[in-house]
Structure 1
């Protein structure tokens, strides 16, 4: 029986095009200005997240569970931005819309891998805040550097496996009618929808990925904050409540900047039937703006990072003054 199955699959020939053609915003007036804006966003994102990575790596006082989570989030932000924006600028601003079949699959893998890491990093950080506020006496037993490193190792391994499975299933599709992708990158949905054979398993994977990386993490984060707000009501003093809540401000802002644009785009598409170009613009902004805002939010709302940056500038100014004297 196994021999018959192997023979059957060996006889199947899948039609894989040499190239895909990404049409995205083709024909949209003034679209070049949009890509110039994204190019600026790219450099701000790289600079901000690189600063956060460097500060956390070099300052031993930040080698704590919370900042291990922030480090992974910044790493995912850089990865997703590098997987998206340079290709978008090359594709549309420089009119190079063809992408090879293998490069398309690689692009799909890295975009979805890093975006999934972003989602799970915020979930892990929500667990960190939940334990810190709701179970303060058990915090160091439940959350430490070892457990956080193991958690993120599991996150990277699990997400790599799921995304690789999703991408590998694309190779079972035949593209005998069209090779035009209505998106700004090799997006999973627009790719499998142009296949000419059965793509039901790919459609199932699309629902699975949406639930796994958007719905379930957001649901668990909301649950954790319901627990946090319940714990805050048990704190007797108003000052104590505000102090505990301040430790969550950065994380709440990060959750809002990542999930709200994606869900707003999804519901706008569902309720308003956005045109393909409008959907591409909204989705691309929802994917590229949060990585730019994340380091800004953490620098402005985290006293430890602000103090370190202030010390660096202060030491540089002192060194410049001593040299001038």
Structure 2
């Protein structure tokens, strides 16, 4: 006898969004989210176009920036239109299969981001701690291969997670306590026993989080030690200013993520706080990455100011649309 025979087939889910938001404030919240989405998309597309147009920026480190920008655009496009529609159009539902497709891209793109941040740390580690071998080890060709690997590696295990999660019957509540579909929120609605799948997903999340983060921490400690040993104050300042944008991005991404994962173990955080933290590391880094790259990177500032490249870049971008 099928133990799921009495379960109700769910055809759609409801996105809870931000708990406690009154209907009269839906338009304001939706407008704010739409504004964030537009700025996020335009800023990251502009970053890709700027680096693509300016030949002097086509270096390994900027190739990582472009890949991060591409991930940010893909993530925003995958997650934000539906939550914007909830608040602006009062469309709170998401189709069953659409939810699982969104779940796949949420976790897949999150893993790609984590691997790219790891590659960014390795790039800075080699540049600062082993500068004489940097041009030999880190080339555009080798960096392109590494970036492709970052995109390819997570596909297989997240396809497996997607298939296993979608195959379980869902019943009772179909309200997802989140602004988008993620594995933890969806699995709470399942009728079956998902403990083994949840354990596998959590172990994978810990591997993807702690693995890159451990090496990132190690690499930046090594960088700081190397910089402090420099006798030239100007060289020390230049090195710190080169690494600070990447370090800021890593902190914005990993600190709230660690808090959410720690909560998933202890379960002491309120639903609204968890949602806000997830939205923090999901939207804030993509939103500020172009600003950090463009205004904290001296090379980009000099090209933009001295050669007046921004209007030219806009025209170049328009020609590609």
Is the structural similarity TM-score above 0.5?
Answer: yes
Q: Deviations over 1:138-193 (max 9, x none)?
A: 11221111111111111101022222222122123111333221111111101011
How many equivalent residue pairs?
309
Aligned partners of 1:16, 1:228: CA distance in 2, in Å? 54
Matched, 1:110 2:105: yes
Q: Following TM superposition, by how much is the alpha carbon of 1:97 offset from its aligned partner in structure 2, in angstroms?
A: 1.5
Match of 2:162 in 1: 167
Alignment partner of 2:14 out of 21, 41, 60: 21
SS at 1:99's partner residue? strand
Matched, 1:193 2:206: no
Bigger Cα displacement from structure 2, 52-61 vs 305-314: 305-314
Alignment partner of 1:287 out of 282, 289, 296: 282
Aligned partners of 1:252, 1:62: CA distance in 2, in Å? 20
Contact 1:32 1:93 in 2 (8 A): yes
**Rg larger in structure:** 1
Match of 2:221 in 1: 226
Match of 2:247 in 1: 252
Alignment partner of 2:51 out of 51, 56, 71: 56
Aligned partners of 2:199, 2:311: CA distance in 1, in Å? 55
Contact 1:178 1:195 in 2 (8 A): no
Q: Deviations over 1:78-98 (max 9, x none)?
A: 111111211111123322121
Match of 1:39 in 2: 34
Contact 1:56 1:67 in 2 (8 A): yes
Match of 2:77 in 1: 82
Q: Following TM superposition, by how much is the alpha carbon of 1:136 offset from its aligned partner in structure 2, in angstroms?
A: 0.9
Q: Following TM superposition, by how much is the alpha carbon of 1:314 offset from its aligned partner in structure 2, in angstroms?
A: 7.1
RMSD in angstroms over aligned alpha carbons? 2.7
Q: Following TM superposition, by how much is the alpha carbon of 1:275 offset from its aligned partner in structure 2, in angstroms?
A: 3.1
Match of 1:273 in 2: 268
Instruction: Provide the TM-score with structure 2 as the length reference.
Output: 0.87
Aligned partners of 2:273, 2:128: CA distance in 1, in Å? 42
Instruction: Provide the TM-score with structure 1 as the length reference.
Output: 0.86
Contact 2:8 2:172 in 1 (8 A): no
Q: Sort the Cα spacing of 1:35 and 1:312 in 2 relative to 1 into closer, same or farther, 3 A.
A: farther
Matched, 1:309 2:304: yes
Aligned partners of 2:225, 2:240: CA distance in 1, in Å? 12
Unaligned runs of 5+ in 1: 1-8, 318-325
